[in-house]
Amino acid sequence: MIASSVTTPRTRSGLNRSARIIGFAVGAIVVYVVLLWLALQVVDGFAPERALPVAIQQTINALSIGAIYALIALGYTMVYGIIELINFAHGDVFMIGAFLAVVLTGGIFGQTGGVKDVPFLALLLLVALLFVMPLTGGLNVFIERVFYRPFRHASRLAPLITAVGVSFILQNLALLVAGSGDRAAPQIFPLDWQIPFGGAEISVLSIFIFALALVLMLLLQTFVNRTRLGRAMRATAQDQQAASLMGVDLNQTIALTFLLGGALAGAAGVVWGLRFGFVRQDLGFNAGLKAFTSAVLGGIGNISGAVLGGFIIGFIENFASSLGFSRWSEFLVFMVLTLVLIFRPTGILGQQLGDRA
């Protein structure tokens, strides 16, 4: 009876919080559709009935792009939350994941275009994720063990410079193996699979990317909040010394953080090739920069903040591109980031923490 009376309010509180988050997300999407619908009429002279389908379709595109940024941003924010390191090589781990997906689908399976056979397509996607995610996670763990761990107790500048160096190493390895310029990525997800909605043709691929990212984010949130290793990660993020005194294996916990971050970056690499149809050796720089910006915008060290920041940047970029101002998209992203940091230096969901002892 006591257990029941204690857990029921918590369950209701969790459900209420989830309902508020879902309501806020749906409301934000509706507001974005309306704003884009109005902007298309003003800037491009679209008739209202023509502007609405474009606004709906572009909103779905923004969700898929934002989901990719959010997956990459999670690696940045998790590592910073644990050891306060900005892992600039993380974007290049994502780039390696994109290349590995191309090697598997195009090289090993020999696919060059859309796969209409649904069971085989599902198998290909599952194999690609199971192939790429462990490899990129393992690569991230290797980077931490070889390059970052020796500088764990050094000044913050040493691991930061090391991270930049690792980024250049990965880029040049990809350049040596794959060469420069774009390399075609097999778009095994048929691009002609569209769902009519509100006069728009919504890509099934965009829905798949958003759904996959959402599932992975929920699994990560559940792991961090509900498992013993997740509690160890949260304890280490709060106070490494206290966590160590309580029996937490710091090396294992930090390695696990890099493993999870690298795996999520690998998943983002898989869907990047499906979405854009190309990979290149400097792919990780631009995508990594935007993902890092997402983490800072949402609140570096905060998992929910990284997700929120990723979607915000995806929506800002999509809004500018939809109105024909794609060259100004990065300017708008960093202008929004600057304004947010002026009024809230810790980011949207970030919290001001005291210095560690």
Rounded distance between C-alpha atoms, residue 145 and residue 215, angstroms: 29
Computed over its alpha carbons, how large is the radius of gyration of the chain? 21
Mean of all residue pLDDT scores within the chain = 88
pLDDT in tens, 217-264: 999 999 998 999 999 999 988 888 888 888 899 999 999 999 999 999
As a 3-state breakdown, the chain gives helix, strand, coil percent values, each rounded to 5, of: 75, 5, 20
- DSSP string spanning 263-296? HHHHHHHHHHHHHHSEE-TTHHHHHHHHHHHHHH
User: pLDDT at position 11, please?
Assistant: 53
Least confident interval from 75-79, 110-114, 134-138, 167-171: 110-114
Residue-level pLDDT at 15: 61
pLDDT band (50, 70, 90) for residue 296: very high
Q: Reply yes or no on whether the pLDDT at 272 is more than 90.
A: yes
Least confident among 168-182, 279-293, 343-357: 343-357
Beta strand segments in the chain, E: 183-184, 194-197, 200-203, 278-279
* pLDDT (average), residues 3-31: 67
Q: And the tokens for 314?
A: 């995806």
**Residue 168 CB neighbour total at 10 angstroms:** 12
**Domains of the chain: residue spans and CATH:** 35-343 (1.10.3470)
**Pick from 18-22, 57-61, 164-168: least confident:** 18-22
The DSSP call for residue 279 is E
pTM: 0.91
Mean pLDDT value across residues 188-211: 89
Residue 70 pLDDT class (50, 70, 90 cuts): very high
User: Could you tell me which residues are beta bridge partners of residue 348?
Assistant: none
Residues 77-112 as b or e (16 or more Cβ within 10 Å = b): bbbbbbbebbbbbbbbbbbbbbbbbbebbbeebebe
3-state secondary structure 319-335: HHHHCCCHHHHHHHHHH
**What is the sign of the dihedral through the CA atoms of 226, 227, 230 and 234?**
positive
